[in-house]
Chains A and B, each alone.
Chain A
Amino acid sequence: MTISEVFTTPGIGGIITVAVLLGAAAIYLGLTRWILQGGREEEPPWERMGWPFE
């Protein structure tokens, strides 16, 4: 696939868009988890609540 084809082929732009947005989602989710885990060793109450942050 040439560089030009990456830009002009229909569908590839869509994949790039979705990849960027999902990638950002994953990163932000990870960062939020990291923040909330600060200073906690035992099981946090939000996991006991059944919040789906596994």
Chain B
Amino acid sequence: MPRWGMVIDLDKCTGCQSCSAVCRAENSVPFAGPEQAALGRAIFWQEVLEREVLGHYPFLETQFLPRLCMHCDNPPCVKVCPVGATFRNEEGVVLMDYDRCIGCRLCATACPYGVRYFNWSVPQFPAPLVQALNPDVPLRPKGVVEKCTFCIHRLEAAKASAAEEGRELSDAEVVLLTACNQACPASARYFGDLDDPESTVSRLARSPRAFLFLEELGTEPRVYYLKGE
């Protein structure tokens, strides 16, 4: 049984935000518009955060942090959901049941990474984009929580075609499986099976540059970051 995880190399990341843009398109993430975004209602399943610029010119240092759901092995969000609308599947992906969610937002307040978002109103899409919504991803109604799913629809499709051909998914097939990874022009992102010691993600996760965010909280996140050189 694979345990899916991701590695993001912060040394290679240029902060271009292709990952964020592509994730929006792939997952039909609703648009808040500039007014609502200013009020804090924007939804970014994948968001590039920029840390404070340090140092003095010309020795400046900053860091771009592509932040998405950490798909923790010990998720605080799953723990507190009153109706089981968020759950961790057998392969370690933390998912949402949009039909069961009552919109209490307890999961959103429990997540220490701030990766959960709420549909404050009926989801909106600018007119031409309505025609480009991804048929593989369910649209969410007003009043429910949503977040990154590790592109579970792509994962299931890949597993299905591998099964049809009577073989297992290979590591090479999954490294760029998620939309964000696929879009990254700097090849800074990797996806794969953390339980396979030979996979790309496992090898990179063992690197001395690898670290996890808020590891001390015990949430056991599965998105590893590689420190800049």
Contacts and interface: CB of A to CB of B under 8 A. Distances in A.
Nearest to B87: A10
Interface in B58-104: 82-84
A39 B82 CA distance: 47
Contacts of A9: 84
Contacts of A13: 82
Interface of A: 9-10, 13
Interface of B: 82-84
B63 to A, nearest CB: 37
Contacts of B82: 13
A13 B82 CA distance: 8
A21 B31 CA distance: 43
A38 to B, nearest CB: 42
Nearest to B85: A10
A10 B83 CA distance: 6
A54 B200 CA distance: 72
A42 B83 CA distance: 50
Contacts of B84: 9-10
Nearest to B97: A10
B6 to A, nearest CB: 26
A8 to B, nearest CB: 8
A10 B82 CA distance: 8
Contacts of B83: 10
4 contacts: A9-B84, A10-B83, A10-B84, A13-B82
A12 to B, nearest CB: 10
A9 B83 CA distance: 9
A10 B85 CA distance: 9
